[in-house]
Structure 1
Amino acid sequence: MSKIILSENAGFCFGVQRAVNTAVDSQKKVRHSIYTLGPLIHNTDVVNFLKDNSIYPIELSEIDSLNENDSIIIRSHGVAPFVIDTLRAKKLNIIDATCPYVSNIHKKVLKYYNLGYSIVIVGDKNHPEVIGINGWCDNKAIIAANGNEINLDEIKGKNLCIVSQTTEKQINWNSVLTMVQNKCKELVSFNTICNATEVRQKSANELSKEVDFMVVLGGKNSSNTTKLFEICKQNCENTIHVENAGEIPDDIIKLKKVSNIGVTAGASTPDWIIEEAITKMNSIENKGISEFEQLMNEYDMNIHPGKIVKATVEVVNDEEALVSIVGYKGNGVLPLKELTSDQNANINDLVKVGDEVEAKVKRINHNDDMVYLSKLDIQKESTLKELKDIFDAKTNIVVKVSKAIKGGVLSNYKGVSIFIPASQLDNKRVEDLEVFVGKEFEVTLIEFKKDKRGAKIVASRRALLPGSVHKRSDAPKAEAHWDSIEKNTILEGTVKRITDFGAFVEVCGVDGLLHLSEISWDKISKVSDVLDVDQKIKVYVLDVNEESKKLSLSLKRVEGNPWDSIETKYNVGDVVKGKVVRFSDFGAFVKLEPGVDSLLHISKISKDRIEKPSDVLELGQEIEAKVLEVNKDNKRISLSMKDM
């Protein structure tokens, strides 16, 4: 019997699934006919399914036929503002199912258009998503399918903001970016290509290399499904493209030498079409619930609040990350506030599309199968264990005050809130608690209680101050040596403690802060990757403030900024060696020495045309390249492998 293998990533993407769920749930609530502004998705079977459930597509030109308070759904492609105004003028009940990823593009376009930027959209000018995006800049966007369609006179000397159709090809995005980046006055680019298509293509590519027969499910007019077929056909000669189970040949499993059959599906293909196809190929009679649906239900039943799950980031917008959860057919939401306790954090610095994350289930919305997740909860549990050990060991920690409240202040340690009473902030009476907000200082824990309702942690700064009954044993020593420390000098010190934000180094008997940003000219994520406790190091004294008992130190400034002497080390025409450290849409960044990264533009990597740098290079790869430009003022070095 043939083995049926379903591609790891197949079927509905997040935006489509959300739109269909929204439509079905809305119809159940109103219990009468509702309408979608245009076909909800590009799949005939799904559109017919919706019609059977009293959900009908209607064009904007036909809305005069609707009655006041009729419900109309804006599909995942999104629409222009004037369309929303038109629907409101008709007093229709608007249900917005715009994909959050597309809504994020609307916000960026509106923001930069209002700032005076010219908008460039990479995509098909006739695609409904592109038409909708264009509406958010008064239909004045420059729309190009690739770099060849850009009129350079139209962009010369302008400030440009570039976005992309979510389903656009990466090669087209790269070609437009390359064409405009040196021709405009200022460039702001947002690669808004959704990775759902790319992920499906990658999975299909891998699966089609391992099977004897490949079935690609999806609409014949679906461009992403057609692309899947082309990819699979290159790897597996026995590949067919069908819209549903009815088009699968009855004798498919009777073919000779077919031991493995692979199945994949486009982003607009629902689970039930995939299910029917697998059911037919397994020769299972479709009575009641199928084996495929049973399997999916088993996955669903394993999801519950408190469960730790693994997920892959599919979409990132300003306020949340949308993820696919391993072993679950629904989708997950990871809000920014559940990623970090830092209210000023940028979500794009925390997660990227394609990242694998571990998170805890907070709640489940059964109306749309959406699971709300938290990464911060996992981090907090780990930190609470750490704080309990610190409390028991009677050691000290450094906290940052986040808020003044009645009776004291709230401070933060790795996302966990710690209360410091006003009486424990200073040796003298504190009149204004607000002066402590934003400050970092050392405290000792004086109370730790944890139960089912949460944790109560209380700390004291006063106990560590000079003159306190609980003052630190090294305080007299520190007081005696402040006069030995001068600003802008280099001294030897000993690493005493390591924290997330830096290290405390004892210099002349005084503890000084060596902030993370002052350890290396390179960007480092963990202090322990560079320093060890009790390690002897030379440090540069940045600032001395005996009154506030603050000593600021630097390790990287001992050797000096490498860019200060850059023009004596590197010259145009030199052949240099470096390591590939990261990729961008327009090239690769190559580290020449600590603190000195250079740009290897995509056009300078190979004599052959490539779609992305990772097609030729790998992270960590050592390369040789020729220096094309050295710009000390802008801290820029340009390289070329092609011109070697």
Structure 2
Amino acid sequence: MKVILAEHCGFCYGVKRAVELACVCGQSAAAGQAQTLGPIIHNPQMVERLARQGVGVADSLEDIPAGGTVIIRSHGVGPSTYEAAEEKGLALVDATCPHVRKAQQAARQLAGEGYQVVVIGERQHPEVKSIVAWSGKQTIVVESVQEAQELAFFARIGVVVQTTFAGALFQAIVAVLRTKCDEIKVNRTICNATELRQKAAMELAGKVEVMLVVGGKNSSNTTKLARLAEESGCRTYHVETAQELRQHWFNNIDVVGVTAGASTPDWLIEEVMEKMQEFDQEMQETVAKIEKGSIVTGKVIAVHKDEVFVDIGYKAEGIIPLAELAYPVPERAEAAVAVGDVLEVFVVSEETADGNVVLSKVKADHIVAWDKVLAALENKQVLTAKAVEAVKGGLVVSVLGIRGFVPASQLDLKFVEDITVFVGQELELVPIEVDRDKNRIVLSRRAVLQKEREEKEKAVYGSIQAGQVLTGTVSRLAAFGAFVDIGGIDGLIHISDLSWQRVKSPEEVVAVGDQVEVSVLKVDAAAKRISLGLKQIQKDPWFDAAAELPEGAIVKGKVSKIAKFGVFVALRAGLEGLVHISELSDHHITKPEEVVTLGQEVAVKVLGIDTKQKKISLSLSKAQEEKERAEYQDYLSNHSSMGVTIGEKLGHLFKRED
């Protein structure tokens, strides 16, 4: 067996520098006085080794005693952390990766130049958090093309990127961001070492039969390497240490590739390479032995309708009967496997009369799968299962070849009336109860959906702010307003913010399924509430209507409401004015009902328009005076011989208004 180590793997410059600085601190500082602020790198074995050298891990600066030393890890921190460390009197060793620092400063400069800063990367990654801390609270983090498509339009966008982010995805996101602004400035702060490591891993995966990816399970760049290797079609195992390796992984395997993440130390890689040499030597020295009840690895060499032939490295070929091939049993063998597939199989019986070995993939899957299911229960990992049958109370599924059960209450976030719609679907589930002795596995889709919703909520609450304009879909209506889906979570448009006109119910303005543009009025992440406005992105028709009413004009309207202090007159749809009680009559009255009734049509004079307060002052008495003055003037024109006597009697109609 040939083992090939990728050309580029293991510690990058920034990680190596950080670890070396931590080691120096451990040698020079008093016991327990030097601590990293969070794990120095995402590798538990390296963190444990540093702990033995006297370098601990602190969750916050409060955990470090006065006079101690704080080591800033390679992911970096925000400026407030430096200030807090100085105020506490701590010695500070800055192990921030130079590439990360470059990204931090680029983001800070963009913010200072007035750009809307967009950081492309994983929102919860400590490096991304440190970049955001340097560029301000208004910074937006984008993880995917979809998130980029959902952004509002900005005049100027400045872009930086997580140093370990995938280059192809970065380019795809930038292409979308270019459509979201008039001007864009892009700082491609991806570390060259990351790209070289990923490229080398993919090239190697195309040349070998099995890939080993060595590094912490919590390391972002290491898990990306494993995913890239898997996506290339190569069988891939992600291990943290050599102790996790299993010899049967490499049965009938000629070439194995090995790579490692940027946070994987050389000594861990060397241990894996040494273990692989031991496996190779053992496989060369040991003659293959087949024992009933053992699990072996083989390669499919022929597929018939009812059976499959497998090369298990033994003098006789292995046969898997159709009933032992998969759960549920397929109609034909080719529906489950193909020539060239590498399988783990259980030895049912040694050589038969025909000279073959009877094997079972179902039993092997069952044994291996139980270990995986138990591990998934412990680590809350998501498993993929196929819905097989709807039964009373829930759904029977096949998970890793084992029968599992999903209660109806765990199928969705809301009640499912017809669970048969899931039959035949691939579902993502998490185990919530596993009992190997009773052959019982209970799983939940609801828990997966709940976590996805929480992650969406975090993403939305972290990316939106008051004043943004978003596009959403009306998801449901209530008496008090409409709920709008804005990327996985609902915001509320209160009925008063649906229209500039008064509406009695939301159905007058929107319907479920409508796509609408809304303005973000308020974001309350703690209470998980987002207030939206529909009318705020439209021009208030009040101003257009009011502009058509010059002061001094006589207009007609209808009394719409009577109050103690006066009456409101509806001049047209959405436009009302107030006639104060003192303007209802030219003589003293005690209540408006002495002059007008609700619904009465009246002529009023426009006294004034306050556009700031959106108020219109009207007068009924002055409109009446205008009417009488006009009638008298007309009368005088036709009866001028009546002289002064009538003029004196009605002269009050021509008094100058104050």
| Superposition TM-score, scaled by structure 1 size | 0.41
Query: Which of 1 and 2 has higher RCO (CA within 8 Å, sep 6+)?
Result: 1
Bigger share in helix:
2
Structure of higher CA gyration radius: 2
